């Protein structure tokens, strides 16, 4: 099969998926939010955010670091998001003697790729969130020089997490893009799911870390991957 034929097939399949998306009855932003709030992870993250913010406000002692910490975290998040997506979510199971190392978050992400329309699989598993919250508290209390700055870190992390969950969910929902920037996020993530899983790893930003790390190609030049819905071809191989 020629490269031109593969590329043409990929373009047709992505176009067909977008036509199916347009043919579905679009949901409103209000209805999308109502569905979003039916799942546990938004509530878990929001609770962590409210508690951290209340504790931070109660402690007071504001300083320049309370501006610097959020700025650094927000600026570095696209890179962190890329690294997590590539090395954690797309983790390939590894055998170590009789053990198989295959974290829950990676297994759930493979299920998400297999069925991107399955909304519960869009969200971070609650078991993973519990571990993340505990780790965030540990980092906030141990790594930072003061409890005040540690709480600022936790507030910012929770806010970023909530934005990520909402953005990722909205892309997979039936809400149609209405603004140029969101359309870019929507198209990039759909290319990741329906054209080639080796590109377009950022979700909340477009063309940031992906450009830096060369995973933001012209979609017209990328062949359709046979493993976009079967990460690492584990189903085919039987591993």
Question: Residue 6: what pLDDT?
Answer: 47
Does 239 fall in a domain?
no
Q: What is the pTM of this model?
A: 0.88
Asked if residue 29 has pLDDT above 80, the reply is yes
Q: Which residue has the higher pLDDT, 58 or 177?
A: 58
Confidence at 150, pLDDT banded by 50, 70, 90: very high
Asked if residue 170 has pLDDT above 90, the reply is yes
Confidence at 97, pLDDT banded by 50, 70, 90: confident
Does 237 fall in a domain?
no
Does 87 fall in a domain?
yes
Confidence at 1, pLDDT banded by 50, 70, 90: very low
Does 238 fall in a domain?
no
Asked if residue 141 has pLDDT above 80, the reply is yes
Question: Residue 235: what pLDDT?
Answer: 78
Average pLDDT rounded to a whole number, residues 160-187:
95
Does 158 fall in a domain?
yes
Question: Residue 229: what pLDDT?
Answer: 95
Q: Which residue has the higher pLDDT, 10 or 141?
A: 141
CA dihedral sign, ordered 157, 161, 162, 164: positive
Question: Residue 26: what pLDDT?
Answer: 77
Question: Residue 117: what pLDDT?
Answer: 94
Does 136 fall in a domain?
yes
Q: Which residue has the higher pLDDT, 14 or 52?
A: 52
Tokens matching residue 2: 């020629």
Does 236 fall in a domain?
no
Does 166 fall in a domain?
yes
Q: How high does pLDDT run on average in the chain?
A: 91
Question: Residue 199: what pLDDT?
Answer: 98
User: Percent of the chain, pLDDT > 70?
Assistant: 88
Question: Residue 234: what pLDDT?
Answer: 83
Q: How many domains does the structure of the chain reveal?
A: 1
Domain that holds residue 206: 3-231
Tokens matching residue 32: 């999308």
């Amino acid at each position: 099969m020629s490269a031109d034929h593969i590329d043409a097939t990929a373009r047709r399949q992505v176009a067909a998926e977008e036509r199916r998306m347009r043919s579905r009855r679009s949901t409103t932003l209000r209805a999308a939010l109502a569905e979003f709030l039916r799942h546990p992870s938004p509530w878990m993250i929001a609770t962590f955010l409210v508690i951290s913010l209340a504790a931070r406000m109660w402690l007071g002692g504001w300083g320049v670091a309370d501006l610097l910490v959020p700025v650094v975290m927000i600026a570095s998040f696209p890179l962190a998001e890329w690294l997590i997506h590539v090395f954690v979510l797309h983790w390939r199971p590894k055998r170590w003697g009789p053990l198989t190392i295959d974290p829950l978050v990676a297994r759930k992400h493979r299920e998400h790729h297999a069925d991107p329309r399955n909304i519960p699989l869009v969200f971070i598993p609650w078991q993973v969130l519990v571990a993340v919250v505990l780790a965030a508290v540990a980092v906030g209390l141990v790594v930072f020089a003061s409890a005040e700055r540690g709480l600022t870190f936790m507030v910012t992390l929770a806010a970023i997490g909530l934005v990520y969950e909402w953005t990722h969910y909205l892309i997979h929902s039936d809400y149609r893009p209405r603004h140029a920037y969101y359309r870019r996020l929507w198209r990039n993530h759909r290319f990741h799911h329906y054209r080639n899983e080796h590109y377009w790893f950022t979700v909340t930003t477009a063309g940031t870390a992906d450009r830096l790390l060369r995973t933001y190609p012209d979609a017209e030049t990328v062949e359709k991957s046979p493993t976009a819905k079967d990460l690492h071809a584990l189903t085919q191989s039987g591993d």
